[in-house]
Amino acid sequence: MDSRDAIEHISDVQEWLEHDPDPETRNEINELLTKGEKEKIQELFNNHLKFGTAGLRGPLGPGPNRMNRVTVRRLAYGISAYLNPHAIVVVGYDARQKSQIFAQDICRVLNAHEIEVCLFPRFIPTPVLAYAVRHLKTDLGVMVTASHNPASDNGCKIFLNDGAQLRAPIDQEIETLIKSSPLPPTIIPEAKEITTILGDDVWQSYCERIASSVDGDSPELRIAYSPLHGVAWDSINTVFASSNSGQLIPVKSQVEPDPDFPTTSFPNPEEEGVMDLLLDLAIETDADLAIANDPDGDRLAAAIPTGNGNWRTLSGDEIGALLFDRMAEKTKGNTRKVVSTIVCSSLVSKIAAANGIHHKETLTGFKWIIPEAYRNNSETPIFCYEEALGYATTEAVRDKDGIAAALLLAEVHANCQKNGKSILEKLEEFSLRYGHHVTTTRRVRFKGAQSENCLQSAMQGLRENPPSEFSVGGVSSVTDYLQSDERSSLPLADLVKLEIGEEIRVLVRPSGTEPMVKIYMEMVTTVSENSQIAKAEIQSIGTLDVIGSEIEILLRKYVE
């Protein structure tokens, strides 16, 4: 017997079925209805994907709480309602499951609303799309990608006409328009406007601009490289060749785009083990440097040889310090500006002060970073970064760009070689001059049916009952960023900062996309000679691990 009558809101499910053009997701819904999978259907239909990092992102599947053709078409309807007729939108896509289909659906809906579309002819990295918005002078850009999420996910990232990510209040406006729009028909009406399939000239223009952003002239450099089954290989290989910045040696099993990401379940280079094949290749080929992009090419991870046959993965803050220091060396003037986030290492502010460069902090995310970077026309942004491997190194792309950042890191290496030192020795120089900075991030994940409420309970508990001391020392100050503070130019945010003495800083915030609380910790130790650095590193890691564990225990206690 069919169990459809037992399903609540069955009319909503039936209406969705009538508007779903994808036989795969229609079959999934019908199978759930036939089996009477009430809880699963409720989960798919009683909620909807919300705008997060500059757009939508989530698991593939049927219903408004998943990424599918109906969800994507509704997004396009919302964009159409926000834009004026005869506006122009540029659309790109990566190589994930259904990315090209989603891009085509977006084009059809926009065309039906008298909006002209420029569509890339093949998959591209996200930075190319961000570049194209300003290069083509379009009113909006849409990139179909889920960045570094698992293979089961997809998404859409939106860029405004300034080439920067979608941000408030426009994101709320578009989300309201999406929610108020009717479900789109299975067959989109014939368009009055057309979709122009771009040639390779926009991509080539991007490659030329990025290649010209560095000095180059280091063809002997050997770099192990992985795009992690993503779409950055063609672009980064072209850029390195054009700029004469070295030879890329790719991980063969990861160089071709593959939506299943067969060698890694979570293609985020921040995750443990994801760079193992890259490091194996670096050792095997005696490379000078190892670098990886995430699947859509907007992040950069890197590792360096330590001189004893081993390799060390650099933290996002270490890469940020190296890239910023190089930009400080390459540029002049008292209008220069660097922007980082509040959870980044304090090292960047010290490098900025030593070089007479203005430094600004923002909340986490490039949707905050880029508007701050270009807020004041009298200031010249030379570098922006966030500790999660995101770097903006050129004005050409007003978003994080893992390809441009890789090129600049190669220049850092070449410059170090010219001065008779290694990147590791360059980092040691930072420690001697500014103090040895150790940063680490701890992720506290919550599971189960109440996971959505856990974050609020954990943060509320920390806010109302912050610890006065840890086993390693007493808390000297507590700052709640949900409370108005005239000294801070930052918007109110669900963030708590704890300071332990003058050396340790801890920031705690909930994730915006997962049932998880993130703990960002930094310890700064004064060292006067190189021989002290290793000991300071070990002690700092141990101290921060103790603090992280004790905070995790507190957070879980607040949730009980």
Active site amino acids? 147
Contact 384, 357 (CB under 8 A): no
CA gap 490, 497 in Å, rounded: 14
Q: At what angle do helices 423-434 and 533-559 cross, to 10 degrees?
A: 80
* The two structure tokens encoding residue 180: 């108020």
Burial tier of 82 (Cβ tally within 10 Å: 0-12, 13-18, 19+)? middle
Contact 129, 159 (CB under 8 A): yes
Contact 65, 48 (CB under 8 A): yes
Burial tier of 259 (Cβ tally within 10 Å: 0-12, 13-18, 19+)? middle
Sequence-separated contacts (24+) of 508-514 with Cβ below 8 Å: 508/459, 508/462, 508/551, 508/555, 509/343, 509/364, 509/459, 510/455, 510/456, 510/458, 510/459, 511/455, 512/52, 512/53, 513/52, 513/53, 513/57, 514/445
* The two structure tokens encoding residue 183: 């479900």
| Among 275, 284, 248, CA closest to 409 | 248
Which position has the token pair 């779903």?
20
**Prior bond to 169 cis, omega within 30?**
yes
Contact 440, 450 (CB under 8 A): no
Q: Find the distance separating the first CA and the last CA of the chain, reported in whole Å.
A: 42
DSSP state of 260: T
